[in-house]
Structure 1
Amino acid sequence: MTSASSEPGHAELLRTLRATLPDLWRSQPLVTGGLLLLGAAQGLMPAVTILIGKWTVDGVSGLLAGQSVNLTALAGAWAGAALLTQLTTVLTQVMQGVAADHYTLHVNQRLMRRMTELQGLDVLEDPQFHDDIEVLQGGASYRPLNLLSTLVYGLRGVAAAISVAATLLIIGWWVPLVVVAGMLPLLSRQMQFYRLGWTLFIQNTPEAREVNYLSRVALRHEYAKEVRLYGLAPHLQREALQRTRAYQDTLRAQRTRGLLALLPFEALSLLVTAGLFVFVVGQAQAGRVGAGSIVLVITALAALQGELRQLSEMISTATEPLSWFGKLHAFLSAPGGVQSPAQPRPMPTDGAITLENVSFAYRDQPPALHDLTLHIPAGQTVAIVGENGAGKTTLVKLLLRYYDPTAGRILIGDAAARTDLRDLDLNDWRAGIAAVFQDFARFEWTLRENILLGQTPDGDRLNAAVQGSGLSGVLNDSRTLDTRLGQAFGGTELSGGQWQKLATARALYRSARLLILDEPTAALDPRSEAEVFSTFAALARGRTTLLVTHRLGSVLMADRILVMKAGRLIEDGTHAELLARGGEYAELWQLQARQYGTGPAPHERDPAYP
C-alpha cells in the first residue's frame, strides 16, 4: 500500500501512466485508438483556423489594393474547419462514453478479483488499507472516465500547442522559441498549483473519512436508536462542521499562497507576448509583413497562452486519476498474507485436527494464543468455553485460516498422514467447512440468496435447511424465500433472532465435514436455542464440530469441553469430569447456575434454561 501522506512525483506518475495505458488499450482497443486519433485531429483545428484568419485578412487587404482574391474559398475553408471541429467533438464524446464504460467495468472486475485473492483477514488490520480501499472504492466509478478524458484532451492540447506555435514560424524561426520559453515558467508553476488539490486530498483522507463516518452515523438506520435516545444529532453536526471547516481553512490558505506565487510568472509571460506584439507592429509599419501577420500574432499568442494554460491544468489534473491508478496498481500487486500454496497437497481423507505449539498475535497486539497443543479426532463434537478474551474466536479464525499462526502449526489428517494446513488449497479447505458466526453478515438480498450464498440451488437441501434452522417460522403469506431483505432496497427487516436463524440455515445448507458454531444462538430466546441445538446435535453426527459459547447449558451436546483462559488451554475433558475437577469450568458453571436461583445441583440442570 502507498503512503497516504506522500505526494506522487513526476517519475512515479509516468510509471503509473505506462502501467495504465496497456490496460486501457486492452479494455477497448479500437475505440481507444479512434479516440486518440480524434484528439490529435482536434488539436490541429486551432492552427488551421488561425491560418485561415491570416489568409482572409491578407486577402481583404489585397482585394482593397486591386488584387484578385478568392474569398469564397477561404470562407468555405473556415466553415469546413468549424464543421469538422463540431463533428469530431460530438464523436469524441460518444466514443469516450463507450470506452469509459468498458474501462470502468474492467477496473471494477480487477478490484473485486483482487479482493477475492486476499483470502485472509490480516490485511484488513492495516489502517492504511482502509484509507486506500476508501479511495479506490469511491473512485472506481469515475476515475477511469477522468483518466480517459484527461488523455484525450491532453493529447489534443499538446497537438494544439505545437501546431499553434508552429504558425508563428511565419513571423520568424525564433518567434515560437521565445514565446514558449517565456511561458514555460508560468506553465510549471501552474502545474504545481493544480497538483496542490490532489496533495491536500491525499493528506486529508483520514479526516475526510471521519467526516463521512459522522454523516453515516447521523443518517443510517442502524445508529438511529442511540442517536435519538441520547440526542447525538447536534453533536454529530457540530463535529462534522468543525472538521469540514478545518479542512477548508487549510485548503483555502494553500490556494491563496499558490495564486500569489503565480503573479511574477504571469508578468514574465505578459512581457514576452507584449514585446512580440510590439515587434510585429513595427515590422508591419516597415512594410515587411502584412495586416494578416498582425492578426496571426494576436490570435496565435492568445490561443497558445490558452492552450498552454489548459494543458498545464490538464497535466496537473491528471495527477488525481493517475495517483488513484497508482494506488490501484499498488493494491493489485501488494502481496497478501494468507495465500494458497503454488502446489497444494491433496486433501487428507481423515478430518482430524492437530495443533502443535500454536501461538498467535494480532498486529501490534499482545499474543492472543500461547503455545497451544491440541488434538481433535474426526467426528468429535468439541465445545470451547472461557471468558471474553480467552482466545476462543482466535482459535476458530486460525482453523478457518483467516490468519496463519505466529508460531507452531496446524495439521490436518490422522497420525499416519498429517498435512500442514498451509500446504492445502485454501478454497478446497474452506469448501468443507460450514460456520455460524456471532457477527454474521446480513446481506440485503432475498432470503433464498442469503441461504444459498452463490451455491447451486437444491430444493431438498434448501427445505431441510429452512426447517432445521427454524426459519420456516419466519415465512408467512407476505414473506417468502424470494422476499428481499434490507431497507436500502425497500425490503423487509428481520429481528436479531430471525437473522440468526437465517445464518444457521446457511450452515445447514452447506455439505461440510467441519462445522463451526461461534456463539450461534446469542440472539435467540431459550426455547429457540433449545430447538436449534437439537438440530445441531443431529447435524453434528459424523462431522467434526466446534462450538464456541459463553452459555454453558449448550455444551451438554459436546463430547468434550476445552476451557481457555488468557490464550491458554487450561482444562480439557467431559462435562462430568470438569465438574468433578472443581476448576475453572466448574466455577463458570456455578456462576451461571446462580443466575437462575436455587434448585438442583449445577451438574443436574442446564443453567441456560430456567
Structure 2
Amino acid sequence: MPQPTPGNEPAAARLLPQAAAYTRRVRKPPNTDPVPTRELLAVLMRALPALVRSAPGIVSLMGLMVVVQGLTPAATILLGKWTVDGITRVAAGGEANLTLLALAWAGTALVAQLTAVASTLLQGYATDHFTVQTVTSLMRKMQALPGLDVVEDPRFHDDVETLQMGARNRPLNLTATLLGLLRGVVGVLGVAGALVSVGWWVPLVVVLGMLPLARKQMQLYELGWSMTIQRTQEARELAYDQRVSMRHEYAKEVRLYDLMPYLTGRYVQKALDYQRVMRGLRNKQVLGVLPAQLLALAVTAGLFAHAVARAGQGELTAGTVVLVTGALAQVREGLGSITEFLGMGTQHLRWFQKYFAFLDARPNVALPEAPRPLPKRLDLTLEDVSFGYAEGKPVLEGVSLHIPEGQVVAIVGENGAGKTTLVKLLLRFYDPTAGRILVGGPGEATDLRDLDLTAWRAQIAAVFQDFARFEWTLRENVLLGRPEDDAKLAQAVRTSGLEGILPRLEDGLNTRIGQAFGGVDLSGGQWQKLATARALYRDARVLILDEPTAALDPRSETEVFAAFAALARGRTTLLITHRLGSVLMADRILVMKSGRLIEDGTHLELLAQGGEYAELWRLQAGQYVEGEAACGTWEAVEVGQ
C-alpha cells in the first residue's frame, strides 16, 4: 500500500480558527498539534448530512452499491472454499454440484463488476451535486460578509486560497474516501466472519495483530499533514518564485533586470532545503512502520501455519486452507485500505473543518436584525469617529464633520492620513471603533449601522484607486450585473472616454478583456476609463472618487474631471486626490493629517489660512514652476548648440 507523502497538499497552511476568529486582532503561530478525534468526528457528522442533502436519492443508492461491493470478497472466498471442497469430494467418489458453484462464482464476479461501475457512476453524480453545494455555500458566505474586516485580515489570504483550491476537489475526495472506508469496513467484517469457520478466536487475533500497523500508518498520515502545515511558508515561497518567473505581470521587470538567474538560484536553494526536510520525514516513515509490519506478517504467517498443520491432521479441509489463505490476504489488504482511507479522510476533514469554521465566522460588521429604511435626505454626519485596523495606533481619531447632501467635497492629505479609511467607514466596509456615522437630514438622522445596508450602497457609485479588473466583456464590466439601459450605457461610455477605444475593437462592447481567457489587454488608463464608466452608469445619489485619474494622461484627466463635474451636480461627491489642481471643482476641501481632520474650507479660505493645505498647494505649484523653468533651460541649451 502506498505510504502517505507529506508536503503535497495544495497551499494548506493552518487550521482555520473557529467561528469569529477572523475578527480577532491577535496573530498566532500555525497550530500543528494533532486535532482531537472528537473534533474530526464532529466535522464528519456535519459533512455527512451535507453530502446526503446534496443528492439524497443518489447517495442512498450509492451506499447500497458499496455495501454489496464490500460483501463480494467474503462471498468469493466462501465460494472458493466450497468449490475446492466439492472437487475434493468428487475426486474421492462423492457428489458436489460444481456447475452451480461455478455459476454462483460467475454471478458474484458479475455483481462485483456491475456494482463497481454503478458505484463509480453514482459517485460522479453525487460529487457534482456536493461540489456545487459546497462552492455555492462559500459564495453565499462571502455575500453574507458585508464588510471588509474578514476579507482584509492578513490571515484570511492563506485560508481563502486553501478553501478556493480545495472546493474543486475536496468534496470529490471526501465522497470517494467515505465510500472506500465503508466498503473496506464491510469487506473486513465479512471476510473476518468467514474465518470463524476456522475458530472463533481467529478473526480477533487477525485484527489485533494488524491494528498496530494500522495505528502506525495513521500516525504517519497525521505527521505528514502536520509537516505540510509547518512547511507551508516554504512551499508557498517556492510556488511564488515559480510564478514570478513565468507569469506575464512580472515579465517586464524579470527581463529588464535579468532576474531569471537570481530566481532560479533562489528556487533551487529553497527546493533543496525543503526536500532535505521532507527526505528525513520519509525516512522516518519507512523505519517507523517496519516493526508493525513485521508483527502483522508474523500473525499472518502463524495463522497460515496453524491452518496447514490442522489440515495435515485432517481437522480442516483443503477448502478451509484456501479460505484462510485468501481471507488473511483480504483482511490485511482491507485493514490497509481502511487505514489509508482514514488517513486521507483526516486530511479532507481538516479542509472541511476550515470550510465550516469559515461558514460560522461572525464578522464585526453585522447586518441589523431590523434594518431601517433610508431617510429622505442623505446628509452625512460624523460624530467623534475613531477607527483602527489593529491594536496599534488608530488610523482615524476624533473626526467630526457634516456634509449636506449635494455638496462636492475634496479630501486631501499625505499618504496614511486616513482619507481612504474614512471612505471605507462611509461605505460601511468597517464600523467605527468609537463615535458614530449618521445618515439623514435634521430630525431623521439614523446611525449607519441601523440602515438597510443594501439600500444604502445602492445609492453610492465609486471609482476606487485599486478598482477591480474583471476579465469579462466590456459591456459586463460596465453593467456589473444590473439591467441594461442602452441610453445610460451609451452616455457612460461616451462621458468616461471609453468610447475612444471601441473602434479598435472588433466586437466593440462585447469584446472580452484580460489575458486569462485570451481577451484584449487594456492599458492602465483604459482600465481607469472603464472603472469610471461603471460609476457613471449607476444612478446614485452619492459619488466617491478615490484617486480616479491616477493612471490617466493630462488630456484624459481633464475630460474625465469635466464628466465628473457634470455628474456631481445635485449629488454628494467625495473626491480623494493628491493632485490639488483637481480640487478646484469642490465646494469644500477637507485636509487630513495623521488620522485627524485639521482644516476645512474652500480653496481660497484654506490658502488664506496659510496652513497645511496652503503648504501642499505651494509645494505642488512649485514643482510645476520648477519643471517649466527646467524645460526652458534645456531648450536654451539646445538652441545654443
Q: TM-score range by the shorter chain?
A: over 0.9
Alignment of 1:412-427 (within 5 A): 412-427=439-454
Whether the 8 Å CA contact 1:193–1:255 is kept in 2: the answer is: no
1:361 counterpart (369, 388, 394): 388
The residue type paired with residue 175 of structure 2 is L
Shift of 1:258: 2.3
Q: Deviations over 1:21-43 (max 9, x none)?
A: 11100111111111111111100
Q: Which residue of 1 aligns with 2:501?
A: 474
309 and 279 in structure 1: CA distance in 2 versus 1, 3 angstrom threshold: same
Q: Which residue of 1 aligns with 2:611?
A: 583
The answer for unaligned runs of 5 or more in structure 1 is 601-610
1:538 counterpart (563, 566, 585): 566
Q: Which residue of 2 aligns with 1:205?
A: 232
Whether the 8 Å CA contact 1:198–1:319 is kept in 2: the answer is: no
Shift of 1:521: 0.7
Q: Which residue of 2 aligns with 1:607?
A: none
Q: Which residue of 1 aligns with 2:142?
A: 115
Confirm whether residue 53 of structure 1 aligns to residue 53 of structure 2: no
Whether the 8 Å CA contact 1:214–1:240 is kept in 2: the answer is: yes
1:23 counterpart (50, 53, 56): 50
Shift of 1:598: 7.1
Using structure 2 for the length normalisation, give the TM-score.
0.91
The residue type paired with residue 566 of structure 2 is A
Residue identity (%):
60
Q: Which runs of 4+ in 1 moved over 4 A?
A: none
Look up the SS of the partner of 2:386 in the other structure: strand
Distance across 1 between alignment mates of 2:511 and 2:419: 35
1:549 counterpart (572, 577, 580): 577
The number of residues matched between the two structures is: 600
Q: Which residue of 1 aligns with 2:112?
A: 85
Shift of 1:535: 1.1
Shift of 1:419: 0.7
Distance across 2 between alignment mates of 1:365 and 1:163: 63
Alignment of 1:330-409 (within 5 A): 330-409=357-436
Alignment of 1:69-218 (within 5 A): 69-218=96-245
Question: Which deviates further from its counterpart, 283-292 or 242-251?
Answer: 242-251
Look up the SS of the partner of 1:123 in the other structure: coil
The residue type paired with residue 584 of structure 1 is E
599 and 84 in structure 1: CA distance in 2 versus 1, 3 angstrom threshold: closer
Whether the 8 Å CA contact 2:474–2:513 is kept in 1: the answer is: yes
Distance across 1 between alignment mates of 2:281 and 2:513: 47
Look up the SS of the partner of 1:486 in the other structure: coil
Distance across 1 between alignment mates of 2:297 and 2:128: 42
Whether the 8 Å CA contact 2:419–2:576 is kept in 1: the answer is: yes
1:487 counterpart (497, 508, 515): 515
The residue type paired with residue 512 of structure 1 is A
Alignment of 1:217-228 (within 5 A): 217-228=244-255
Look up the SS of the partner of 2:503 in the other structure: coil
Q: Which residue of 2 aligns with 1:445?
A: 472
Distance across 2 between alignment mates of 1:110 and 1:598: 58
Using structure 1 for the length normalisation, give the TM-score.
0.96
Shift of 1:128: 2.5
Shift of 1:246: 2.7
Q: Deviations over 1:6-29 (max 9, x none)?
A: 432321111111000111001111
Look up the SS of the partner of 1:367 in the other structure: coil
Look up the SS of the partner of 1:67 in the other structure: coil
Question: Which deviates further from its counterpart, 359-368 or 77-86?
Answer: 359-368
Q: Which residue of 1 aligns with 2:341?
A: 314
The residue type paired with residue 168 of structure 1 is L
Question: Which deviates further from its counterpart, 238-247 or 562-571?
Answer: 238-247
Question: Which deviates further from its counterpart, 64-73 or 7-16?
Answer: 7-16
598 and 75 in structure 1: CA distance in 2 versus 1, 3 angstrom threshold: closer
Look up the SS of the partner of 2:510 in the other structure: coil
Confirm whether residue 563 of structure 1 aligns to residue 598 of structure 2: no
Whether the 8 Å CA contact 1:38–1:88 is kept in 2: the answer is: yes
Whether the 8 Å CA contact 1:125–1:363 is kept in 2: the answer is: no
Shift of 1:287: 1.5
Distance across 2 between alignment mates of 1:233 and 1:27: 48
Whether the 8 Å CA contact 1:434–1:516 is kept in 2: the answer is: yes
Q: Which residue of 2 aligns with 1:236?
A: 263
558 and 504 in structure 1: CA distance in 2 versus 1, 3 angstrom threshold: same
Q: Deviations over 1:143-177 (max 9, x none)?
A: 11101101111111000000000111101111111
Question: Which deviates further from its counterpart, 230-239 or 537-546?
Answer: 230-239
Distance across 2 between alignment mates of 1:516 and 1:477: 30
Q: Deviations over 1:421-477 (max 9, x none)?
A: 111122111111000111111111111111011111111110110111111111105
Q: Which residue of 1 aligns with 2:20?
A: none
Distance across 2 between alignment mates of 1:106 and 1:4: 29
Look up the SS of the partner of 1:166 in the other structure: helix
Whether the 8 Å CA contact 2:34–2:222 is kept in 1: the answer is: no
Whether the 8 Å CA contact 1:131–1:205 is kept in 2: the answer is: no
Whether the 8 Å CA contact 1:4–1:128 is kept in 2: the answer is: no
210 and 7 in structure 1: CA distance in 2 versus 1, 3 angstrom threshold: farther
Whether the 8 Å CA contact 1:352–1:414 is kept in 2: the answer is: yes
The residue type paired with residue 290 of structure 1 is T
